Amino acid sequence: MPDHTTDRSALRGDCAQCFGLCCVVLPFSASADFPVDKPAGRPCANLGGDHRCGIHADLRAKGYTGCTVYDCFGAGQKVSRVTFGGQDWRTGPKEHARRMFDVFPVVRQLHELLWYLTEALGLEAARPVHPDLRRLLEQTERLTLGTPQELAALDVAAHRQEVNVLLLRTSELVRAGVPVPDGKPDRNGRPGGNAKGGNAKAGKAAKAGKGGGRDRRGADLIGARLRGADLRGASLRGAYLIAADLTGADLRDADMIGADLRDADLTDADLTGAFFLTQPQVNAARGSAGTRLPGSVTRPVHWATGG
């Protein structure tokens, strides 16, 4: 069993402990995701004096779908209660609010990295890199506790790159033991085989688009017909799966980091063991009661209503 466990509750947004930062800091434009324009730094018109959303239960019905697919990974409460000691941006000086707004996106990125590192440490196949993962996890946690000045000056991109090297290695280790499509042996000599009992059509669909095979990093699969596709152990890092038909697709043990699943149809798809999958990605997709998900995410409420 993995020798490291971390409580992920601190990496989930807790609006009751936040000063509504995502509703103020982030900009949005009138589109399919939002009904109006809002510049960065201006409170959303739906944000109440208690820092709670006045239409939270009706966001999709009111046209604020974009809000339902966003997660701060717990950065909101960290910045509100720890970095700034519980001092509200509304009651503090103007400079205080500006610094809080500058720091929030930085901590949000760090908390997202903590989410991935924590998950990687729970993957048995990644045991060879657990010491390095643990080191970076502890380093990232320390960074989140920096002063506002330290956080504002942090080179997040450089730190993210260091973390990404290990996440890539983790992905390789986890996917190495997954049988590849079309009966070809994997790198460890294990036999492969198509999903659905050798469904050649599914195998062909899985190879549609750029990349071929199991390496689908950054692939343009927008609107792709991948119904029943065998994508077991595939690397879908940064793949564009917007509005793709993944009905009944086999996505077991696939690397989903950064995959764009907006309006993708995951009806009856199997994502058992899929890793680096976040709640915002799942919330952005469509699914059903038959969609099998890893334990790291929950089934969106709107799936039950077909919304």
Quote the pLDDT of residue 10: 87
**Predicted confidence (pLDDT) per residue in 265-292, tens digit:** 999 999 999 999 999 999 999 999 999 9
Q: Which residues of the chain have pLDDT under 50?
A: 1-5, 183-212
Q: DSSP 3-state assignment of 220?
A: strand
Domains belonging to the chain, first-starting first, are 10-26+70-174 (no CATH), 192-307 (2.160.20.80)
- Rounded to two decimals, the pTM is 0.86
What pLDDT does 91 receive? Answer: 87
- Which residues in 276-289 are b (16+ Cβ under 10 Å) and which e? bbbbbbbbbbbbee
pLDDT in tens, 86-124: 999 998 788 999 999 999 999 999 999 999 999 999 999
For residues 210 and 232, the answer to whether their CB atoms sit within 8 Å is no
Mean residue pLDDT across the chain? 88
The whole-number pLDDT of residue 179 equals 73
